[in-house]
Amino acid sequence: MALFPKCTFALSLARPAVAGTRLTGTVTVDAPEDIPRAEALELVFQTEARAVYGSGKNRTVKRATVFSKSLSSRLAGALPRGAHALPFDIDLPPWLPPELDGPRCSIEHKIGVRLDVDWAIDPDASFSPVIALPPRRAVATPALVRSDPSFHPSLIVEIALSSTTVVQGGHLEGSVAVRGAEEGAFDGIELGITDYATIAFARGDRRERSSARYRWAASDLKEGRSVPFRLGVDAAFPPTFKNGFIDHDLVLAVRLDVPWRTDPTFVIPIELLPIGSQVDGAPSAMVVGNERMQLLAQAMARVPGLRVGRYPVLVEGELGAVHMRVVDSPLGSRLGVEVELQLPSVDLGLTLRQKGLFDLGGASLLPEALARDYVLRRSEEDGSAPVEDAAVAAFVEAVTANLEDASDIRLADHRLAFHLAIHEDSESTYQGVARLAVAKAKQVLEAIAALPPPAAIDRRAWEAMAAEQRAVLVPSRPALHGVVLAARVLGGDERALQASLRAVWEGARRVGVEWSVDLRAMPLPSQVLSKLAEGTLAEAAPALASHFAEAQIEGTTVVLRADGWHEDPRAWMPGLEAFFAWALETRGERTSQSAYR
C-alpha cells in the first residue's frame, strides 16, 4: 500500500447550525481505490478564540479553546473503494458564539476529519461551518439618556430611543436634542453605531471592529430643537454575545463637536439580537415568561452584593475584584441558569473542558469528582513565574468545590462559569442560586489569596502595597489588580485610571514588571496613541523614558514595560504616576498642582 493513501472528504449538514441545538450532518469519504489498514474515521468539532498582541519580535498570539467535541467510527481494518457516509450528531452548547473576525482577533469554528491509516500518512480535511445564534423574543426598551454634568459645562445632550434592543438589519430610532446651545458653542453632533470585541481571555482589552457614523450640524439643533433619526443597523454587525473568551457588544456613541477643545463623548449600550428575533413594540406587551423572570430577578437582588441586570442577565454584582452574573439559560424545555464569575487573571495557563474520546492518559490535576468528566490543560503563559502542579491542583479544587449539581463547568485563568438546572420555579430556588454565586465568589478570592508566591518574592511587600492601594494580590506571579490613580482637574471634574502591575519572568528569573493601564475612563487623543504605537518611547513620550523601556497600545489598554527589579513593588508607583501626569497633559487638562508653562 502507498505511504500516501488517497481519498476525498465532503461535509453536508441536515440543517443550518444554531447554538443550543443539535448539529446533524454527514461526512462522505470517497476512495478511488481500496485503502488497507484503515482503522478509524475521526471527526473533531472545535471552536477557538485567538488574539494577537504586539508586532515584530514582540508579537505574541494568545489562543484558547472555547469548545471541543470529538467523535470516532471504527473501521474493519480496511476502507473499500467507493463512497462511504458517516452520519454524526453534535450537541452545540447554548453559549457557543458565532464566528467573529475582529481587529487582530477572531473566533473560528472548524470541523476536522481524518482517516486513521496504520503505517501511512493519514488523509484529512477541514471544514468551516457557519454557526448562528437562535432567534429570541424580547421587549422594546425605551430609554431617555442625558449627558452627565461633567460632559460639558453649559450644554446638555439628550437622546431618546424607542428601544435599545434591536434586531440585525433593523433600525435604531429616536431623537436627539442639545439644550443650552448658544451660538458658536458647538459645531455639530455625531452619532456612531460601533461594535467592540473584548478580549476577556487575555488582557481584557476592548477593540473596535467597525463603526457607522452620522452627523448633524449645529444649525439643525438650534434652540434645543429635537431632531428625529432612524439609523440602519447593518446585518454585518454580529449580534451581542458574551462567552468569557471574546465578548461582542454594540454601543451608540454620542460625540459633541466642540471647537478648540477635546470633543466630549458618552455611549449607550445597545443589545443586538440575531436575525429572525422579535421585539415587541411596547413594554406592556411583555410576554409572561419575561415578567416572571423580572420578579425572580428582584427577589435574587435582595441577596447582598447583587443588583437586577438587563435580561437575560437576572442579577449581577461585584465582590472585591470578582464580577458575578447569573443569566437565564434554559436548556431545551428545562429551566436553568448560567453562573459566570469574572476574576483577576491568575496566569496559570488553565483550560478546563469536558473530556473527549482522545483525552486519555496523563496525570490529572483535577479533584476526583471532576476527573471523570473533565480534562484540565495547562499552557505556558508568557512572562509568568513557574508554579508547581500541587499548587495548581489545590487552586482548582478550591474554586470548583460544591459544584456537584452543576454541569458544563468551564474554568480559565480569568473566568469560572457553570450551568445549574432549575427544578422548581420559585423565589427561594432562585435566591439560593444567588447566594451560591456570592459564596463561590468568596471561595475564588480565598483560593487566589492561597496561591504560593515564587520563592524569590517578598510577599509582605506586595501585600503591603495591595493594602495601601486597595488592590487584589495574585501571589503566584505576583500581580496587583485594581490600582487606581485619581485627580481633580481645573473645573472640578475628576479623572481616574485603573491599572494592574505584573511581574515579568524569563523562566525562573525576574526581569521586570509591566503596568497594564485601562484607558476607557480617560481616553487619549488618537494622534498621541498613534505616535506612542509607532515610535520609540523616548520619541513619543520623553517624560516616560526614564521609567519604562517600552510601551504597547492594545485597543483601550496601554502596556508599560519596566526592566530591572525592586523588592518593594511600591518603587514602581512613580512610573505610573508619571504616566498619569503625562496622560492629563496630552488631554490638555491641568490639576491645581500642575506647573504653569
In a domain, 193, yes or no: yes
Query: For position 156, what pLDDT does the model report?
Result: 82
Mean pLDDT of 219-242: 87
The tens digit of pLDDT for each residue in 22-31 reads 999 999 999 9
Query: For position 597, what pLDDT does the model report?
Result: 35
Query: For position 239, what pLDDT does the model report?
Result: 94
What CATH number does residue 91 fall under? 2.60.40.640
Residues 78 and 43 in one domain: yes
Q: How confident is the model at residue 526 (pLDDT cuts 50, 70, 90)?
A: confident
With residue 437 as reference, give the H or E element that holds it: helix 427-449
Residues 439 and 470 in one domain: no
Residues 145 and 53 in one domain: no
The tens digit of pLDDT for each residue in 343-370 reads 988 888 888 878 765 555 555 778 877 8
In a domain, 162, yes or no: yes
Can you tell me the distance from the alpha carbon of 83 to that of 80, in angstroms, rounded to the nearest whole number? 9
Query: For position 10, what pLDDT does the model report?
Result: 95
Strand ranges in 265-385 using DSSP code E only, listed in sequence order:
265-273, 278-280, 307-308, 313-319, 322-328, 336-342, 350-354, 374-378
Residues 445 and 301 in one domain: yes
C-alpha cell at 182: 448658544
C-alpha cell at 308: 437586577
In a domain, 591, yes or no: no
Q: What is the DSSP string of 119-160?
A: TSPPPEEEE-PPEEPPP-EEE---EEEE--TTT-SS-EEEEE
Query: For position 422, what pLDDT does the model report?
Result: 86
Q: How confident is the model at residue 333 (pLDDT cuts 50, 70, 90)?
A: low
Q: What is the DSSP string of 266-312?
A: EEEEEEEEPTT-EEESSGGG--HHHHHHHHHHHHHTTSTT-EE-STT
Residues 316 and 445 in one domain: yes
CB-CB contact of 89 with 21 (8 Å): no
C-alpha cell at 32: 478511488
The tens digit of pLDDT for each residue in 44-101 reads 999 999 999 988 888 899 999 999 999 998 988 888 999 999 899 999 999 999 999 9
Residues 434 and 321 in one domain: yes
Residues listed for the chain: 597
Residues 141 and 269 in one domain: yes
Mean pLDDT of 8-14: 93
Domain limits for position 569: 459-586
Q: Is 256 left (phi over 0), alpha (psi -120 to 50) or beta?
A: beta
Residues 518 and 504 in one domain: yes
- Specify the number of domains making up the chain: 4
Cα–Cα distance list, 69 to 90, 96, 217, 480 (Å): 7, 12, 54, 36
Mean pLDDT of 221-231: 84
For 538, list phi and psi in degrees, rounded to 5. -65, -35
Residues 535 and 553 in one domain: yes
C-alpha cell at 495: 479623572
Q: Any bridge partners for residue 67, and if so which?
A: 47
In a domain, 3, yes or no: no
For 534, list phi and psi in degrees, rounded to 5. -95, -30
Q: How confident is the model at residue 291 (pLDDT cuts 50, 70, 90)?
A: low
CB-CB contact of 515 with 503 (8 Å): no
Mean pLDDT of 261-279: 90
What CATH number does residue 399 fall under? 3.30.1460
Q: Is 305 left (phi over 0), alpha (psi -120 to 50) or beta?
A: left
Give the end of a domain, one of 245, 280, 315.
280
Query: For position 359, what pLDDT does the model report?
Result: 58
Query: For position 593, what pLDDT does the model report?
Result: 60
Q: Strand 105-117 to strand 38-53: parallel, antiparallel, or no bridges (unpaired)?
A: antiparallel
Please give the mean pLDDT across all residues of the chain: 87
Residues 128 and 265 in one domain: no
In a domain, 499, yes or no: yes
Can you tell me the distance from the alpha carbon of 460 to that of 468, in angstroms, rounded to the nearest whole number? 12
In 3D space, the residue among 454, 498, 504, 500 whose CA is nearest the CA of residue 473 turns out to be: 500
Strands of the 22-31 sheet, one edge to the other = 8-13, 22-31, 82-91
pLDDT of 284 above 50: no
pLDDT of 595 above 50: no
Percent of the chain with pLDDT over 70: 94
